[in-house]
């Protein structure tokens, strides 16, 4: 008899289908590291939100929308576009 467990096709593929470039800890080819998702809407790209990125070369922190992470260049030391607004969780208020 052959009692091998069934192959779980697709269980890994589904995870890879999500944008891995937006996962905290991801480093793009330009050494820009994803720190966290801020959840704030991007002013540059419709239906994209801003992620907190940090340059691993100069430690510059800035915001970047999800679509641009994979090719992002540091605005401080690599001549990239200026960072998008970065809203730190600690500064959030109830706007009252
Ligand atoms: Zn830099």
| pLDDT above 70 for 7 | no
Residue 47 CA to ligand 1 centre (angstroms) = 27
pLDDT-based confidence at 18, cuts 50/70/90? low
User: In the structure encoding, which two tokens stand for residue 34, read together?
Assistant: 């994803």
Q: Quick check: 96 pLDDT over 80? A: no
Q: Which of 91, 83, 20 is nearest to 52 (CA)?
A: 83
The gap from C-alpha 90 to its chain's centroid, in whole angstroms, comes to 19
- What predicted TM-score, i.e. pTM, was given to this entire model? 0.72
Distance 10 CA to ligand 1 centre (A): 38
Tell me the residue ranges of DSSP E strands in the chain.
Answer: 32-41, 49-55, 61-65
23-33: per-residue pLDDT in tens? 999 999 999 99
- Ligand 1 midpoint to CA 73 (Å): 8
Hey, which residues does 51 pair with through a beta bridge?
Answer: 37, 64
Q: What is the pLDDT of residue 63?
A: 97
pLDDT digits (tens, 9 = 90+) for 25-63: 999 999 999 999 999 999 999 999 999 999 999 999 999
The domain segmentation of the chain, as residue ranges, is: 18-85
- Tokens representing 39 are 């959840």
What span, in angstroms and rounded, lies between the C-alpha atoms of 78 and 50? Answer: 20
What are the residues whose beta carbons fall under 8 Å from the beta carbon of 90, sequence distance 6 or more? none
Dihedral sign for Cα atoms in the order 28, 30, 36, 37: negative
């Amino acid at each position: 008899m052959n009692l091998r467990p069934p192959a779980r096709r697709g269980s890994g593929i589904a995870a890879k289908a999500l944008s891995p470039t937006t996962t905290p800890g991801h480093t793009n080819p330009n050494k820009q590291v994803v720190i966290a998702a801020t959840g704030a809407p991007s002013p540059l790209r419709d239906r994209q939100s801003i992620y907190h990125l940090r340059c691993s070369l100069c430690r510059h922190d800035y915001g970047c929308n999800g679509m641009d992470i994979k090719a992002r260049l540091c605005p401080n030391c690599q001549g990239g576009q200026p960072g998008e607004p970065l809203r730190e969780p600690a500064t959030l208020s109830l706007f009252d």
